[in-house]
Amino acid sequence: MLSDTMLTRRGALTALAASAAALTLSACGSASKGTSGKVITYWLWDSLQQPAYQECADRFREKTGITVKISQIGWDDYWTKLTAGFIAGTAPDCFTDHIQKFAQFTDLDVLLPLDEQEAWSGVDESAFQDGLIDLWKGEDGHQYGCPKDWDTEAIFYNKEMVKEAGLTDEDITSMEWNPDDGGTFEKVLARLTVDRNGNRGDEEGFDPNHVKVYGLGIQDSGSADGQTQWSPFTASAGDWYYTDKKTWGTHYRYDDKAFQQTLDWYFGLVDKGFLNPNGAFSDATSTDIQLGSKSIAMAVHGAWMFNTFANLDLDVGIAPTPVGPNGTSQSLFNGLGDSVVKASPNAKEAAQWVSFLGTQEAQDIVASYGIVFPAITASTEKAKTVFEKTGLPTEPFTKHVEDGTTFFFPLTYFGADVKAIMTPAIEDVWANRVPASTLTEYNDQVNLLFDTSTHD
């Protein structure tokens, strides 16, 4: 049971300090600020995007005379070092932000309101894909992040395995599901699953306990959001969403019956042998590796992995997520943003840089690298052309945005706490096959945070 002690901003900072202190020294070495105010520091975690943003920085320097020093820090260390920097005063001037962390940072009052900066007047907010600009607004209505890109999810699959199973690409692209019998999606999974004796999942003698090729693969249980695991199914089951509001919700819905029924069906695929159980692969074996080693036939993943899957040594296909009981194919719609550190001595110049990254000029540069879909609609079109040079379609990703069949990553306070509570609970449904109804108790703990804690 959670403590009744009220959580405050000071308490949160104290807790963050305890977890981040060990990395404070290394964080100090990552930030460098010029005394002239003409050198600013910018952090990102994706090494594949660094060349694109270096070209943006070069263009920015030509236009303004301001030099941007870019540091790439791997995801596992990025947030701890950033938090250490907030505490020690060694944070970068600006950084790539994530919705999962955004609410906490606005609560801690460490982000600069971009809409109060002169440079922001040069950003055309109407140019972004619908919804992205609002995703980076705080509960107070201020703009604390500039949209930089977006992603949705689709199904990557082994076309050779599909052909060998007697299926067609159309069978994959037209899949539908339901929690009662799994629909055509489950029939496809059964056909693609093969045990060690060569029996398929829909054939007599199939052994679900000794599987050679799983129809569907996952790396983990999906934590509290299930982005590349169960979220396309829970979102298309009915009208379920993580919380009571699109953004800044205060009541989570992991106790919803339709949600729990969907998870019981989804992780029940493990019992049938169609989905890999916990332990079938190492924790480090991502689904692109699973597909590349021909251990699985399909995987749900995001647009940011487009080129990784495209470069696998096999014939890869991409299909939309299956249509669910509510008649739609759904995808989580996530987007990264750039934020400026409020305490930065170079806040004015950092705001200029972040605002520049919110222009079509900069996002066209990013689009030319074909690594992400930029947040600006016109730049997205340019990125599609580059992506499709691989011979693979972008429509399974872009159609969600065009049709409005998307839902946001949960944006609420206490994000880290929600994750800490729900991750082991959902892991238990996958690993130990406990019923999803057990999530109700954990959902009550999550909602208790909002009832008994404060972020003022």
Q: How confident is the model at residue 453 (pLDDT cuts 50, 70, 90)?
A: confident
Which tens digit of pLDDT belongs to each residue from 384-409? 999 999 999 999 999 999 999 999 99
Fold of 39-152+334-404: D-Maltodextrin-Binding Protein; domain 2 (3.40.190)
- Can you tell me the mean pLDDT for 412-424? 96
Question: Average of pLDDT values for 346-372?
Answer: 98
Amino acid (1-letter code) at residue 187: K
Write the pLDDT tens digit of every residue in 138-176: 999 999 999 999 999 999 999 999 999 999 999 999 999
pLDDT of 37 reads 54
Separation between Cα atoms, residue 125 and residue 128, nearest integer Å: 6
Say if residues 366 and 149 touch (Cβ distance below 8 Å). yes
CA-based torsion, 243, 249, 252, 256: positive or negative = negative
Per DSSP, the three-state class of 226 is coil
Average pLDDT, the chain: 92
Residue 358 pLDDT > 90, yes or no? yes
Superfamily of domain 153-332+409-452: Periplasmic binding protein-like II (3.40.190.10)
What b/e sequence results for 189-211 when a residue is b if at least 16 CB atoms lie within 10 Å of its CB, and e otherwise?
A: bbbbbbbeeebbbbeeebeeeeb
Instruction: Say if residues 190 and 272 touch (Cβ distance below 8 Å).
Output: yes
Give the pLDDT confidence of 223-275 residue by residue, as tens digits: 999 999 999 999 999 999 999 999 999 999 999 999 999 999 999 999 999 99
Other beta carbons within 10 angstroms of residue 80's beta carbon come to: 19
DSSP class of 21: G
Kind and range of the H or E run holding 297: strand 296-302
pLDDT at 277: 98
Q: Flag whether pLDDT at 4 surpasses 80.
A: no
Q: What is the pLDDT of residue 31?
A: 36
The whole-number average pLDDT for the span 108-137 is 96
The helix/strand/coil state of 154 is strand
Domain boundaries, the chain: 39-152+334-404, 153-332+409-452
Is the pLDDT score of 362 beyond 70?
yes
For the whole model, what pTM was predicted?
A: 0.90
The reported pLDDT for the residue numbered 27 is 37
Please say whether the beta carbons of 146 and 338 come within 8 A.
yes
